[in-house]
Chains A and B, each alone.
Chain A
Amino acid sequence: MATLLQLVLAGIGMGSVYALVAIGFSLIYKVTGVINFAQGEFAMIGSMSFWLLQSHGIPLVPALVVAVAIAAAVGAAIGRFVMYPAAQASVLTLIFITLGLDTALRGLGTLVWGVNPVAVQAFSGNGVLHVLGAVVPTQNLWIFGAVVIVAALLYFLLERTYFGQGMTAAMDNPTAARLYGMNPLRFGLYAWVLAAAIGAFGGVVFAPMTMANTNMGLELGLYGFVGAILGGLDSLPGAAVGGIALGIVTSLSAGYISSDWADGVAFAVLLIMLLVRPQGILGTSLNRRV
């Protein structure tokens, strides 16, 4: 029983990171129709920027804010100088552009930060909490807290502000949104900035859990993508739920079967989900999107 709880709690921690990456996938997909395969690199940029700032003795909060801002600036640059000029291209072309971006960002990251893994300090020391016999690193609380903060901020932005309602409307019905003065390209740019910032936030809180390195984005991106599909690509809460669910599944399979099998089980779950419920846990039916 204690093992089960231990694995589930560890899974929630890891899954929260996937959830943050998945929310970025979902956001860009909903606003622009593009699946951004460079999404994991924002987490890498966040992690590595945070490490660099931290190693120069910058305190936690400013380092976190600046690391997220750096990634947001990269997201803005991609939105403005890559996706905006290509806006007339087909969605498939844009998706291939993001594949290229993924490689480019990883290469740039390697140029800036090198190839060696780096150790990032945990936010509140290396302490652990004991929960009913399970051991939880305190960093896991920060990770889970990050998801809660991001979810609350996104909810406030999209549901409680007039501008955000406009953005929600544009995701809901792009044609009607254009008829009523909403500029889809501008919303697309904001989606890139938001997705980059959220992904980077995930990367920053995740960095102390492992050795951060410039290749970490690929795996995080892949797991975030699977999480987003599991939860329903066109649902933001779905992306969060899917990411956390994926974290729990991989943690359980690593614990009970073998850590070698964790990836296999994750993709098996994805396959089963696509066969049984292709729209994902919280997504709406695929054939509604023409």
Chain B
Amino acid sequence: MMLEVAGLTTRRGRLQVLHGCGLHLQGSEVVALLGPNGAGKSTMLGTIMGLFGSPTGQVCLDGSDIARLPAYRRVSRGVALVPERRQIFGSLTAEENLALGAYHRHDRKGLQQEIEGMFEIFPGLKKHRRRAARWLSGGEQQMLAIGRALMAKPQVLLLDEPSLGLAPRAVQDVFETLHRLKGEGMTILLAEQNTPGALELADRVYVLQSGKMTFEGTPGEAGHLLAEGYLGVG
């Protein structure tokens, strides 16, 4: 199992957000995490990354438990998050943002070539390479955030609502990128509100509601139940 998460009970402030949540991903699997606003999707991804602590439970990456590691040491274990609302380094240039994705790596030989490689994957960023990233459009910033995560060379890529607040055209670009990464065999966990796009991409689907996992199954089943209104999402 590439990523195995079990029994998370994360609190944020006085509120318990997760009530014993778990999920698992095989290598090269693309899994969608669906659920309404406030269900705990971001909290779950943040707990996997160590931004929030869970007093119980495990986060196992490729067989080793990383649940007690501080956040800044988890990326070097092979898991990278594209955070909600992108969280790029706005005062740094697009190129610097990409370069810093590799910050945790000891071996940074050929970094410049890797950055050029990212500009080939995301040609729209190339003309902005020397601009402060805060001036990029929402779609461009999202591509930059994904590129930064890929620069970390993760085994598992987590994405938190990459289509949030983007123009339809940019949403399409994001999903095209994710389809391409899937084709290259990347293991992906995608939290989304854009249900149709996520169902089309995913191999398997979880639904999180009020901090509990209420569904696990194929995109077909999930789509069916969602259409009937059983899952209260979408």
The interface of chain B, by Cβ under 8 A from chain A, is 49-51, 70-73, 75-76, 80-81, 83, 87-92, 96, 99-101, 103-105, 108, 148, 152
- A182 contacts B103, C-beta separation under 8 Å: yes
- B76 contacts A181, C-beta separation under 8 Å: yes
A152 within 8 A of B: no
**Complex interface: chain B residues within 8 A of A172 (CB):** 89-92
Distance from B185 Cβ to chain A, minimum over Cβ atoms (Å): 23
Given known contacts A166-B100, A179-B83, is B51 in contact with A184 (CB within 8 Å)?
A: no
A168 within 8 A of B: yes
Interface residues of A in 159-192 (CB under 8 A from B): 162, 165-166, 168-169, 172-173, 175-184
- B71 contacts A173, C-beta separation under 8 Å: no
A249 to B50, alpha carbons, bound, how many Å? 48
Total chain A interface residues with beta-carbon distance under 8 A: 17
- A175 contacts B51, C-beta separation under 8 Å: yes
What 7 A-B pairs come out closest when comparing CB atoms? A181-B104, A176-B87, A178-B71, A169-B89, A172-B89, A181-B75, A183-B72
Which one of B50, B71, B90, B91 has the highest number of Cβ atoms from chain A below 10 Å of its Cβ? Answer: B71
A176 to B88, alpha carbons, bound, how many Å? 7
Checking B51, B72, B89, B96 against A181 with a beta-carbon cut-off of 8 angstroms, the contacting residue is: B72
Distance from A52 Cβ to chain B, minimum over Cβ atoms (Å): 40
Pick 30 A–B contacts, CB within 8 A, sort by A: A165-B92, A165-B99, A165-B100, A166-B100, A168-B91, A169-B92, A169-B100, A169-B103, A173-B88, A173-B89, A175-B83, A176-B83, A176-B87, A176-B89, A177-B89, A178-B70, A178-B72, A179-B49, A179-B51, A179-B80, A179-B81, A179-B87, A180-B75, A180-B100, A180-B101, A180-B103, A180-B148, A181-B104, A182-B72, A184-B72
**Complex interface: chain B residues within 8 A of A179 (CB):** 49, 51, 71-72, 75, 80-81, 83, 87
**Complex interface: chain A residues within 8 A of B49 (CB):** 179
Chief secondary structure at chain A's binding surface: helix
The interface of chain A, by Cβ under 8 A from chain B, is 162, 165-166, 168-169, 172-173, 175-184
A182 to B104, alpha carbons, bound, how many Å? 7
Checking B87, B91, B92 against A175 with a beta-carbon cut-off of 8 angstroms, the contacting residue is: B87
**Complex interface: chain A residues within 8 A of B75 (CB):** 179-181
- A180 contacts B104, C-beta separation under 8 Å: yes
A178 to B76, alpha carbons, bound, how many Å? 11
Distance from B108 Cβ to chain A, minimum over Cβ atoms (Å): 8
**Complex interface: chain B residues within 8 A of A184 (CB):** 72
**Complex interface: chain A residues within 8 A of B100 (CB):** 165-166, 169, 180
Distance from A84 Cβ to chain B, minimum over Cβ atoms (Å): 13
Distance from A257 Cβ to chain B, minimum over Cβ atoms (Å): 40
- A162 contacts B99, C-beta separation under 8 Å: yes
Q: For residue A181, which residue of chain B has the nearest CB?
A: B104
**Complex interface: chain A residues within 8 A of B81 (CB):** 179
Distance from B6 Cβ to chain A, minimum over Cβ atoms (Å): 22
Distance from B22 Cβ to chain A, minimum over Cβ atoms (Å): 22
A17 to B3, alpha carbons, bound, how many Å? 54
Distance from B164 Cβ to chain A, minimum over Cβ atoms (Å): 16
**Complex interface: chain B residues within 8 A of A166 (CB):** 100, 103
**Complex interface: chain B residues within 8 A of A180 (CB):** 75, 80, 100-101, 103-104, 148, 152
**Complex interface: chain B residues within 8 A of A182 (CB):** 72, 103
Checking B51, B72, B80, B89 against A168 with a beta-carbon cut-off of 8 angstroms, the contacting residue is: B89
**Complex interface: chain B residues within 8 A of A181 (CB):** 72-73, 75-76, 103-105, 152
A259 to B71, alpha carbons, bound, how many Å? 53
**Complex interface: chain A residues within 8 A of B51 (CB):** 175, 178-179
